[in-house]
Structure 1
Amino acid sequence: MRFLSECPWKRLQELRALIPNVPFQMLLRGANAVGYTNYPDNAVFKFCEVAKENGMDIFRVFDSLNYLPNMLLGMEAAGAAGGVVEAAISYTGDVSDPMRQKYSLDYYMNLADELVKAGTHILSIKDMAGLLKPEGSKLLVGTLRDRFPDVPIHVHTHDTAGAGVAAMLACAEAGADVVDVAVDSMAGMTSQPSMGAIVACTKGTKFDTGIALEKVFDYSEYWEVTRGLYAPFDCTATMKSGNADVYENEIPGGQYTNLHFQAHSMGLGNKFKEVKKAYAEANKLLGDLIKDKQLPL
């Protein structure tokens, strides 16, 4: 709509007509809907209503700061439209590190209590920076599963550090029902962990997906060719590998990719380490100001 002046519903309608039996899912930023500012409540409700009418099924509702009032509005709007509500906990920090108390296991459990109380159909962990390590995955998902034995748990991560497959396997072991992956030719780095790797690693186990690896290979080959057609616009072109320093700077996947591309386009590629450090320090300062209520949400 913004750049190509397209009807925002046309592609959704076409996809739904071609794929009638697979649930579609979208992100809903609570009171921000799909924008970057708070919209009037009736606009959020109407957006969800029209999205549902045009083929959307599951609304993953989140707030980047886990601000509950924003999330509750989005959940109510999605539910009123008849959609499946998937309330998402935005994850940061490291629950397996006892020295890190700002975003502790108790913090996430208290938030989950509120989301389940509000009636979410699915509980999601939105690990937007790819910070979940295997031990933290087992701790967080295992505790959620023990407290909410009947609520489906859906985990989303990014593979920036390269540990995404290990983390998602640990989530499955701990009781997660669904983990997000990407087709192999589009996976890794700031994308999601490899679909083929997950399918292969679970084959013959109690977590066997039932998906034939040969079909995964064919699917990946198609998207490998397609991705090549869009190579001039691929913002990951300047990235050669993942980087575990994301555990320090905690930059979300989409922001990491954009920041990397922008640094190189401005001739600062050789200073990307300093750029990431400055970004992390600015984020920490902003978080402290919000926590101390010196800056309004």
Structure 2
Amino acid sequence: MAKKLISVMDTSFRDGLQSVYGGRVLLNDIKPAIQAFVDAGITHFECGGGARFQSLYFYCNEDAFDMMDTFRSIVGPDIKLQTLTRGVSHVGLDTGSRDVIDLHAKLFKKHGVTTIRNFDALNDVQNLIYPAECIRKHGLNHEVCVTVMELPPECKGAHEANFYTDVLKRIIESGLPFDSVCFKDASGTARPKKVYEAIKAARALLGQDMHIRFHTHETAGVSIACYLAALEAGADGIDLAMDPVSGGTSQPDMLTMIHALKGSEFDLGLDTKRLLEAQKVLKESLKDYFVPPEAKEVCTLIPFSPMPGGALTANTQMMRDTKTLDKLSSVLEAMGEVVERGGFGTSVTPVSQFYFQQAFNNVVFGP
């Protein structure tokens, strides 16, 4: 029987850089690696948006739109380039005006992007509708998200499979336009059985023709198991990265996933030898950058304190800057209580930052 070909989006140059280095990486240093990934057969890249957008201005003295132009010039006209947006917050941390939300989609189209993944941390469909309309209006593909996580122990009332099914039903009923659906687990805490049930229900709702993806991080140590569950339930695509920006706070490693799928009915359609050559180029490109130890670790506190991989390292880098890193374990422990009291908001930007800042203040200044 022929194997099902699974769509892979490489996240090394957005979520990988953000999750491992806090996005503090210069474009010129990674240009050879981008070309090497194209040569290795990667046809779908996440290239910008999220915190990588702001980190270029904050830490690299670079322009995000120049970066997108350069990325497109390297990969050529046929490669899929995808970015991440936070619903009505676009690439900001607060609610944007309608003209800025529209301008965001217009400019990202102008600078070579083909798809925008659009999420809301509260799973509030109203916050997805206008951005979706703008994305489509400017000729981009729209990937709508259901945001996923695990609640701390003893918490109930949200973030079960039926909760996500209800969110997806509201998306469909709203009439907002979308080309694909992503279940986005920024903290990597969702358990495999729940992932299976949520995607199985989504497939039943959406039919066989709608593209469904699952996104997670390795922070809690269950990412490969969740990807296997997602594929068994009918997902069409997953997000992967390459060492040194894979594993830990980032996405599972591409080579590890190829190994995990041996003997299964699924195939990523990638050549291991070519990927190994690309990995060498990426490692060489990033050899002079400091790798925070926590960025490459599985953290046993994360299932109880769901801090997103893409935010954890950015926060620990700031804690290093302020000489408060010794308080990290206490902050993560405190975050579990903050999430519990904070309700059902998914721990992804900007809600995850609210959770983290409150937990940090509780530890440093007292609750």
Distance 1:148 1:160, change over 3 A: same
> In structure 1, what residue type is equivalent to 2:122?
L
Match 1:73 to one of 130, 140, 164: 130
**1:174-223 deviation line (CA, Å, top 9, x unaligned):** 11000101113211111001110112222453211221111121121211
2:79 is aligned to: 22
- Which residue number corresponds to residue 133 of structure 1? 191
Number of the residue aligned with 1:189: 248
**Contact in 2 for aligned 1:30/1:61 (Cα 8 Å):** yes
Alpha-carbon shift at residue 240 of structure 1 (Å): 5.7
Q: Structure 1 vs Structure 2: percent identity of aligned residues?
A: 24
269, 278, 291: which one aligns with 2:334:
278
Q: Is the 8 A contact 1:169 1:198 kept in 2?
A: no
Give the structure 2 partner of residue 110 of structure 1: 166
SS of equivalent residue, structure 1 residue 249: coil
Partner of 1:2: 57
Pair 1:240–1:52, CA change in 2 (3 A)? closer
Counterpart code for 1:128: A
Aligned mates of 2:111, 2:239 — CA distance in 1: 24
Flag the 1:65–1:13 CA change in 2: closer, same or farther, 3 A: same
1:145 and 2:203 correspond: yes
Deviation of 1:270 (Å): 4.3
Q: Is residue 165–residue 194 contact of structure 1 (8 Å, CA) maintained in 2?
A: no
Aligned to 1:292: none
The 10-residue stretch of structure 1 (275-284 or 126-135) with the greater mean CA deviation from structure 2: 275-284
Distance 1:264 1:8, change over 3 A: closer
Determine the C-alpha separation between the residues in 2 that align with 1:223 and 1:197.
17
Counterpart CA distance in 2 for 1:226 and 1:37 is: 34
Structure 1: segments with no counterpart, 5+ residues: 290-297
Q: How many Å apart are 1:224 and its aligned residue?
A: 1.6
CA deviation profile, 1:142-188 (whole Å, cap 9, x unmatched) = 11112212321011111002221121111111110001011132111
Distance 1:13 1:256 in 2: 28
Segments ≥4 residues shifted beyond 6 Å: none
Q: Which residue of 1 aligns with 2:19?
A: none
**Larger RCO: 1 or 2 (CA < 8 Å, sep 6+):** 2
Alpha-carbon contact 1:130-1:160 (below 8 Å) kept: yes
Amino acid at match of 1:62: F
CA positional deviation for 1:71: 1.0
TM-score for both structures, normalised by structure 1: 0.87
Per the alignment, do residues 238 and 162 of structure 1 end up closer, same or farther by CA in structure 2, a change over 3 Å counting?
closer
Q: Which residue of 2 aligns with 1:249?
A: 305
Give the whole-Å Cα distance in 1 for the aligned partners of 2:89 and 2:325.
Answer: 33
In the alignment, which residue of structure 2 is the partner of 1:287? 343
* 1:267 positional shift: 4.7
Q: Secondary structure at the match of 2:220?
A: coil
Q: How far apart are the structure 1 equivalents of 2:156 and 2:168?
A: 19
Q: Displacement of 1:122 after TM fit? A: 0.5
Q: What TM-score do the two structures reach when normalised by structure 2?
A: 0.71
**Native 8 Å contact 2:86 2:92 kept in 1:** yes
Using the alignment, how far apart are the partners of 2:182 and 2:342 within structure 1? 25
Q: For the Cα contact (< 8 Å) 1:184–1:196, is it kept in 2?
A: no
Give the aligned partner of residue 64 of structure 1: 121
Whole-angstrom CA distance in 2 between matches of 1:42 and 1:173: 41
- Partner-residue secondary structure (3-state), 2:221: coil
Deviation at 1:286, TM superposition (A): 2.9
| 1:228 counterpart residue number | 287
| Counterpart AA for 1:110 | D
Q: Is the 8 A contact 1:238 1:261 kept in 2?
A: no
Q: Give the superposed CA RMSD.
A: 2.4
How far is the alpha carbon of 1:266 from its aligned partner?
A: 4.6
AA aligned opposite 1:109: T
Partner of 2:50 in structure 1?
none
Work out the CA distance in 1 between the residues paired with 2:221 and 2:308. Answer: 14
1:87 aligns with 2:144: yes
Q: Give 1:269 deviation, angstroms.
A: 4.2
Q: What one-letter code is carried by the residue in structure 1 that aligns with 2:339?
A: N
